[in-house]
Chains A and B, each alone.
Chain A
Amino acid sequence: MEFQLLAAGLAIGLGTIGPGIGIGIGFSKAMEAIGRNPDASGTIFVPYILGIALTEAMAIYALVIGLILIFAVG
Chain B
Amino acid sequence: MVGALLASGVLLVAAGWFVRRAERVPGRLQSLIELPIEWIAGIVRGTGGKRWAEFAALVIAVFLFVLVANLIGLLPGVGTVGLAHEGEHGEPTLVPLVRAAAADLNFTLGLAIIAFVAFVAWGIRANGVRGYLKELLIAEPAYMTPLLTPIHLISELSRVISLSMRLFGNIFAGEALLAVMIVLAPLLIPAAFLGFEVLVAFVQALVFALLTMTYITLAIAEHRQHESQDEHPGTEPERKEASPAPGSA
Q: Please report A residues at the B interface, Cβ cutoff 8 Å.
A: 46, 49-50, 52-53, 56-57, 60-61, 63-64
Contact = CB atoms under 8 A, between A and B. Distances in A.
B165 A64 contact: yes
Contact of A49 (B161, B166, B169, B203): B203
B210 A49 contact: yes
B47 interface: yes
Given A46-B210, A64-B161, A53 B166 contact: yes
Interface of B: 43, 46-47, 161-162, 165-166, 169, 203, 206-207, 210-211, 214
22 contacts: A46-B43, A46-B46, A46-B47, A49-B203, A49-B206, A49-B207, A49-B210, A50-B211, A53-B166, A53-B207, A53-B210, A53-B211, A56-B166, A60-B162, A60-B166, A60-B169, A61-B161, A61-B162, A63-B165, A63-B169, A64-B161, A64-B165
Contacts of B211: 50, 53
B162 A50 contact: no
B210 A57 contact: no
Contacts of A53: 166, 207, 210-211
Contacts of A49: 203, 206-207, 210
B203 to A, nearest CB: 7
A60 B165 contact: yes
A43 to B, nearest CB: 8
A50 B165 CA distance: 16
Nearest to B44: A46
A24 B43 CA distance: 24
Which 8 A-B pairs give the minimum distances between C-beta atoms?
A57-B162, A53-B207, A60-B165, A63-B169, A60-B166, A60-B162, A64-B165, A46-B43
Nearest to B162: A57
Nearest to A61: B162
Most B Cβ at <10 Å: residue of A52, A56, A60, A61: A60
Contacts of B169: 60, 63
Nearest to B167: A60
